[in-house]
Amino acid sequence: MSNKDPDEILKKLDRSANTIEASGFFKRFISALAISFSIFQLYTAIFGVLDAQIQRAIHLGFGLSLSFLLYPAVSTWRRDRVHPIDMFLAILGAAMPAYIVVNYRELILRAALPTPEDVAVGTLGVLLVIEAARRVVGMPMVTVVICFLIYAFFGTYAPGILAHRGLTLSELVSHLYYTTEGVFGIPLGVSSTFIFLFILFGAYLESTGLGKFFIDVANAVAGWASGGPAKVAVLSSGLMGTVSGSSVANVVGTGSLTIPMMIKLGYHRNFAGAVEAAASTGGQLMPPVMGAAAFLMAEFVGVPYIEVVKAAVIPAALYFIGVWLGVHFEAKRGNLKGIPRSELPKFSEIIRERGHLSIPLIVIVYLLVSGYTPMRAALVAILLSIICSALRKSTRMPAIEIVRGLERGAKGVLGVLIACAAAGIIIGVVTKTGVGLKLASGLLDLSGGLLLPSMFFTMITAIILGMGVPTTANYVITSTIAAPALLQLGIPMLAAHMFVFYFGIIADVTPPVALAAYAGAGISGGNALKTGVNASKLAIAAFIIPYMFVLSPELLLMGDLDIYLLLSIVTALIGMIALSSSLIGYLADNMKFFERLILFAGGLMMIKPGIETDLIGILIFGAILILQLRRR
């Protein structure tokens, strides 16, 4: 992948970007379908959402049709037109959910007693979701879904506590396709309401040139500092990541500008790609518009979305401080200078000329804090993004661009939509067989009922499942299987769900399957594995912070603001400095190996809340700092 065009890298690593480039009639037809999809979603958001199953069925029908039209069954097929087989599947993809809409009343009356026609339609509908997941999401997700389906049918042969009586085809299809516990469950429900609107909002923000605005602001703020371009990458990627919601797309979008800047300054190619990967991955953790999984978390935990946003503020800040520190220490170690101020844009001019583009983001935060629903806040923000872009001629969107925004939004949601539908199959099997509690009990038995080992095994589970599986689907699986184990140990529900959410996201920079790091290596021309290792070192905060907020829930702002919260934040910051500097090998001077080991241990001491461990960690940090200052 080295030194390829960014679009080629994106298509290679992110299946949701690997669509056909249709022409002629097919292009117009797909555009019309996508625009109709967006209009339907906007209509229901403005005038009221339909009954749950009808809303989700129409949403899935649009999603399946577009998926089969845009993603060919075989990569070798011509990519400028739709294959007849894909057209046929697109029609079926619309017809199977439409069966629910047309026969809604009859299906309710004969609930749990499906006819042969119901079973046939439901079976075909489930198979179409799996095939769409193969095309749009990838085989790792499909493999997990198939394993759960096999377990549902052949549970009588499962060992030990995992055994169950087994399900018939009629029982399973009825549960998966004709209730809101399977394909049309909570994940698809959230996709058909909140997620679609926020992705459409992101599409319009990108059309206004907000990404370039973020990069210019970051350059003006940090480009002059030691290791400036790397710090620019951290700032701009964090800001863009909260809008894009995709770590790979974020790496390609901002990395095509920031990575060459870092290499030119003197950063090694492997480190330059790693900086962008770590920062872009953290964008999904950054409020106010986090990854799609954050909306699911609000539904699963049963709290308003603003509570999830509030809980994410301190952990996200700690994460980016950790990445920033890693970049800073590397720049100091390599004596890397910043960009001359004369070559950088002026902050005041950027704000004067394009500052109005940030108004929709500010307003959406205000609306969420004020108690508006995410749907209403997103609607207002979409309208504002169009209005604000028109305030200046240089940023104004033509009318055709507004229409194209509807098309881009519909296409952009497909990856999340199909992942949510496929994840619904997993949830359906879990709720029908009760395997979730069984797996949680098994995890507790494996850890001996101890908190730290349980958290460790949960972390490993989330990272493994996150290798190649989208964050949304990864969160659904781990929150269904692993999070219950943490809940049984008395951990607050929001903290347990945030724990698996973090590790599902950080899988994007964890070798051997680190897609964000691979994208960074593709742009930098570096080694993919070494880039992934460097990204993991920079993102060390993401491996530590979840343990911190589980052991100190006040970091999630779950209680009152008091002295304990302040102490937790201070010790967490010192711990981040200690860990980042030990991994890079520089604090006030180049470190010796034993200093790195001791300082790493001191940083870990500040994970667990407690006066004794915090004091020991601070004393170790102070001793190493004094030793280095004296030597320098």
Q: Coil, helix or strand for 566? A: helix
Q: Does pLDDT of 307 surpass 70?
A: yes
Q: Does pLDDT of 222 surpass 80?
A: no
pLDDT, mean over the chain = 85
Position 504 scores a pLDDT of 83
Torsion of the alpha carbons at 101, 103, 109 and 112, rounded to the nearest 10: -80
pLDDT tens track for 485-503: 888 888 899 999 999 888 8
Length of the chain: 632
Residues 422/473, Cβ–Cβ less than 8 Å:
yes
Q: Judge residue 21's burial from the number of C-beta atoms within 10 Å of its C-beta, 0-12 exposed, 13-18 middle, 19 or more buried.
A: exposed
| Rounded CA separation 410/31 (Å) | 9
Structure tokens at 133: 């997941």
3-state secondary structure string across 326-344: HHHHHHHHHCCCCCCHHHC
Residues 618/606, Cβ–Cβ less than 8 Å:
yes
Q: Which residues neighbour 190 within 8 Å (Cβ) at sequence distance 6 or greater?
A: 292, 295, 296, 299, 420
Q: Does pLDDT of 291 surpass 80?
A: no
Residues 249/270, Cβ–Cβ less than 8 Å:
no
**Buried b or exposed e, range 24-42, using 16+ CB within 10 angstroms:** eebeeebbebbbebbebbb
Single out the residue of 141, 323, 310, 351 nearest to residue 230, CA to CA: 323
213 compared with 386, residue with greater pLDDT: 386
pLDDT > 70 fraction of the chain, expressed in percent and rounded = 94
Q: Which of 51-65, 282-296, 573-587 has the highest mean pLDDT?
A: 51-65
E runs forming strands in 457-595: none
pLDDT tens track for 407-449: 999 998 998 899 999 999 999 998 898 887 787 788 888 888 7
Single out the residue of 109, 99, 113 nearest to residue 173, CA to CA: 113
Position 40 scores a pLDDT of 96
Q: Does pLDDT of 162 surpass 80?
A: yes
Q: Which residues neighbour 194 within 8 Å (Cβ) at sequence distance 6 or greater?
A: 295, 305, 374, 375, 378
Position 93 scores a pLDDT of 96
| Rounded CA separation 36/16 (Å) | 20
What residue type is 154 in one-letter code?
Answer: F
The residues with which 586 forms a beta bridge, in sequence order, are: 590
Mean pLDDT along residues 268-297: 83
3-state secondary structure string across 355-419: HHHHHHHHHHHHHHHCCCCHHHHHHHHHHHHHHHHCCCCCCCCCHHHHHHHHHHHHHHCHHHHHH
User: Is the bond preceding residue 187 a cis peptide, omega within 30 degrees?
Assistant: no
| Rounded CA separation 422/426 (Å) | 7
Max Cα distance, the chain (Å) = 82
Q: Coil, helix or strand for 590? A: strand
Residues 523/273, Cβ–Cβ less than 8 Å:
yes
Q: How confident is the model at residue 14 (pLDDT cuts 50, 70, 90)?
A: low
Per DSSP, helices labelled H in 103-181 are 104-109, 116-136, 139-153, 169-177
| Rounded CA separation 227/162 (Å) | 53
Residues 474/510, Cβ–Cβ less than 8 Å:
no
356 compared with 230, residue with greater pLDDT: 356
Q: Does pLDDT of 1 surpass 50?
A: no
Position 438 scores a pLDDT of 81
Structure tokens at 525: 């021309």
| Rounded CA separation 480/434 (Å) | 11
Q: Which residues neighbour 54 within 8 Å (Cβ) at sequence distance 6 or greater?
A: 100, 101, 104
Give the number of other Cβ atoms within 10 Å of residue 573's Cβ: 16
Structure tokens at 262: 């870092």
Structure tokens at 177: 């396709």
Residues 132/93, Cβ–Cβ less than 8 Å:
yes
Q: Count CA within 13 A, CB hemisphere, residue 608.
A: 10
Mean pLDDT along residues 149-167: 88
Mean pLDDT along residues 217-238: 77
pLDDT > 90 fraction of the chain, expressed in percent and rounded = 25
Q: Does pLDDT of 5 surpass 90?
A: no
Give the number of other Cβ atoms within 10 Å of residue 10's Cβ: 22
Mean pLDDT along residues 372-380: 88
Q: Does pLDDT of 310 surpass 60?
A: yes
Mean pLDDT along residues 159-176: 89
Q: Which of 129-133, 281-285, 337-341, 350-354 has the highest mean pLDDT?
A: 129-133
Element (H, E) at 253: helix 247-265
Q: Does pLDDT of 3 surpass 60?
A: no
What residue type is 560 in one-letter code?
Answer: D
Position 284 scores a pLDDT of 80
Give the number of other Cβ atoms within 10 Å of residue 270's Cβ: 22
Position 2 scores a pLDDT of 43
pLDDT tens track for 522-548: 888 888 888 888 888 888 888 888 988
Q: Which of 108-112, 127-131, 557-561 has the highest mean pLDDT?
A: 127-131
Q: Does pLDDT of 212 surpass 90?
A: no
Position 178 scores a pLDDT of 93
